[in-house]
């Protein structure tokens, strides 16, 4: 009797776990994640500052220098946007994967591609902020011109 009861319970568990809806739901979620394309409107340049939950002092300096540059040179532009992205938050993970981001990064993105200025940001933002601002400004302007 005990064996019969045990076999019955195991059979119910197996059938419950293999519900047809589970497979379709998993496939739908996977398709949503892989088929999503990051779409940027024409004439728009997004300046992304990617970071984690607790960015270090240098990472914060890079983010602040990037934001200050965008606000200083492109405050009147409706086409250039500074976007602060915490890569540890679930809604932002897809965007980070799209740009292959795993750590603090600076990405200038337009409709036809993007530039990753992370290396330059860490090279210049702390010790030579004017040089970084000039490089960032030039990259944004080139990306903006390319998008026209």
pLDDT for 33:
41
pLDDT for 19:
54
CB within 8 A of 45, min separation 6: which ones?
Answer: 79, 80, 81, 108, 109, 110, 140, 143, 144, 147
Q: What is the CA radius of gyration of the chain?
A: 23
Question: How confident is the model over 122-134, as pLDDT tens digits?
Answer: 999 999 999 999 9
* Residue in 132, 134, 128 with CA at minimum distance from that of residue 118: 132
* DSSP-assigned states of every residue in 19-79: -HHHHHHHHHHHHHHHH------TT-EEEEEEE-SS--HHHHHHHHHHHHHHHHHHTT-SS
Segment 105-123 mean pLDDT: 92
pLDDT for 11:
63
CB atoms within 10 A of CB 43: 14
Residue the block writes with tokens 């405050």 = 75
* Domain range summary for the chain, segments of one domain joined by +: 45-146
Question: How confident is the model over 50-109, as pLDDT tens digits?
Answer: 999 999 999 999 999 999 999 999 999 889 999 999 999 999 999 999 999 999 999 999
- If you ran DSSP here, which 8-state letter would residue 125 be given? T
Residue pair 72/134 in contact by the 8 Å Cβ criterion: no
Question: How confident is the model over 5-57, as pLDDT tens digits?
Answer: 556 666 665 565 555 555 545 444 443 343 344 667 778 899 999 999 999 99
Go through the chain and tell me how many residues it has. 148
pLDDT for 40:
72
pLDDT for 37:
47
- pTM, entire model: 0.71
CATH 3.40.30.10 fits 45-146, yes or no: yes
pLDDT for 10:
63
Q: Is the dihedral of CA 100, 101, 105, 108 positive or negative?
A: positive
């Amino acid at each position: 009797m005990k064996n019969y009861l045990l076999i019955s319970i195991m059979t119910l568990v197996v059938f419950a776990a293999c519900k047809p809806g589970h497979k379709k739901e998993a496939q739908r979620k996977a398709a949503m994640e892989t088929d999503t394309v990051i779409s940027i409107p024409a004439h728009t340049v997004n300046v992304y500052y990617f970071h984690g939950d607790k960015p270090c002092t240098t990472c914060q300096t890079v983010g602040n220098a990037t934001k200050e540059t965008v606000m200083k040179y492109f405050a009147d532009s409706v086409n250039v946007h500074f976007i602060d992205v915490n890569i540890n938050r679930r809604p932002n993970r897809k965007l980070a994967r799209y740009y292959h981001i795993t750590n603090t990064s600076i990405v200038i993105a337009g409709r036809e591609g993007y530039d990753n200025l992370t290396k330059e940001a860490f090279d210049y933002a702390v010790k030579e902020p004017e040089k970084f601002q000039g490089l960032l400004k030039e990259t944004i302007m080139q990306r903006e011109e390319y998008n026209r």
